[in-house]
Amino acid sequence: MSNDSPDDVLGALLRRAATGDEAAFAELYDAVAGRLFGLALRVTANRTLAEEVTQEALLQVWREAARFDPARGSGMSWMLTIVHRRAVDRVRSEAAQSKRELVYESRSAPRGYDSTVELTLAREVARTVRTALAELPRPQREAIELAYLSGLTHTEVSERLGVPLGTAKTRIRDGMAKLRRVVGGGEVQP
Amino acid sequence: MNAPRASESPDDEWRDQVVLHSLDALSSDETRQVEAQLAASAESRALLDALRQDLVALSDGLEVDPPPQLRDRVLAAVRTTPQDSPPFTAPSSASTPRSGTTDLDAARHRRQSARGAAASRRQGWLIGLVAAAAVAVGAVAVTTQWGDQPEVPLADQVLEADDAVSWSDSAEGADYTVVYSASMDRTVLVVENAPEVPSDRAIQAWLVPADGNPVSAGLLPDGDSVELVLEGDLNRAAAVAFTMEPQGGSTAPTTEPFLAIPLEG
């Protein structure tokens, strides 16, 4: 997609990496590791898990680089999809689930957990809100944050917000439609 | 508060599922169902790709530098991690299936010439009754050629049936044609210029229902020009999809389809 010029660079690096070019992959790492790790950290709320997820995702990027198809989206979008899926899978696995619940509990009553992560998270949430999501009405913003950035299922989103499932889905759908207008990407109308 | 809903072809509920899938916000069962249906709809895959592109904005500003050791670990692991071979890419959403009698005629024709060559080598192979018929130039020969008994293989009967209908598409230079005869209630897959597959992998065909999980339709035999009698009931399928699987196949797809042929019309 041409609306994000650095993607051309990432796409080109991916294509070189697909041929086994380790130097290109190292360059790709330097360009995207912070972004992928940042998203993994936001979703898992756990530095160790986030490191594991980022490492696994990057190895998947290396293995499957030949599958990247620029006709379907940007290199960044492709890599974020991989890391997000892995992060969500990790937090939904049972062991991770309990840890994450702890982090959630501690947000309302902070004690005995990694306050650095928590601070980072708080800052990052604030930063996101100032960017694309800030344009969305609060109910839509909250629903999308919980789904995408906290890695909850739609059922969990409705529980967390205390609204019926249909309402949660509507907020997410309408929020994504609004986001489309804000970022001005894509040709397909939601 | 509702978004405009102009010009929709997937219905609202399906669209919502695709939106939730883009956020990875479906349960694992729902995810499997949606992925199976996505395999049959290029339009929905394009919607998913566009949604994922929009989501890039949500992590803009979340960057956190990972510890330097992560770089060392990843780059060290890369040196010993083999890459998937390039021919098996995910399908482009721009892929346009073709169907019609031309493909069926072409498939019949190619098959005839390949079969002539194989038969002339006089190598008979007995495979099972309803088994894979592999016609590979320079490799394996035809099914049920048992001595000189002129028995018409099932695949041939389907391909020659008067009511045979076909759907075709290609991926990475290989042509895949699904041929169905209602009178025989059998389906045959013909693959021309089949891709080379690593020895520990196999291409698996799947019948993808409109609602539910994909069901295995069989594994493609080796060879450049391949015929396979597909297992399962084509009438219940919305698409035939193909994935790379470990040798021996899988009970459910473990990779994204590199090709899905919608059974339209």
Sequence letter at residue B133: A
CB contact under 8 A, A190 and B47: yes
- Give which of B57, B41, B223, B196 is closest to B132, Cα–Cα: B223
Full-model pTM = 0.57
SS3 A148: helix
- All residues of chain A having their beta carbon less than 8 Å from the beta carbon of residue B74 are 29, 33, 55, 58-59
SS3 B242: strand
Q: Give the A:B interface size as CB pairs under 8 Å.
A: 210
- All residues of chain A having their beta carbon less than 8 Å from the beta carbon of residue B200 are none
In this complex, is the C-beta atom of B65 within 8 Å of any C-beta atom belonging to chain A? yes
Nearest to A173 among B3, B26, B65 (CB): B3
Q: For each of chain B's 265 residues, which pLDDT tens digit applies? A: 444 444 444 588 899 999 999 999 999 889 988 988 888 888 899 999 999 999 999 998 889 999 999 999 999 999 998 888 653 333 443 334 444 445 666 666 655 554 444 433 333 333 332 333 333 333 333 333 333 444 567 788 888 888 888 888 888 888 888 988 888 888 989 888 888 888 888 899 999 887 778 889 998 888 888 888 898 888 888 889 998 888 888 888 888 888 888 887 6
Sheet with B215-219: list strands edge to edge. B215-219, B201-208, B239-246, B259-262
Q: How confident is the model over B183-196, as pLDDT tens digits?
A: 888 898 988 888 88
Name the one residue in this structure whose structure tokens are 């299936």. Answer: B97
In this complex, is the C-beta atom of B20 within 8 Å of any C-beta atom belonging to chain A? yes
Nearest to A74 among B4, B15, B53 (CB): B53
CB contact under 8 A, A187 and B50: yes
d(Cα B243, Cα B169) in Å, to the nearest integer? Answer: 14
SS3 B110: helix
Please list the residues that pair with B240 across neighbouring strands: B207, B261
Within 8 A by CB and 6+ apart from B203, the residues are: B194, B195, B197, B219, B220, B242, B243, B244, B245
Mutate: best of A153, A155, A159, A179, partner B, most B CBs <10 A: A153
User: What are the C-alpha distances in Å from A108 to residues A23, A42, A102?
Assistant: 45, 17, 10
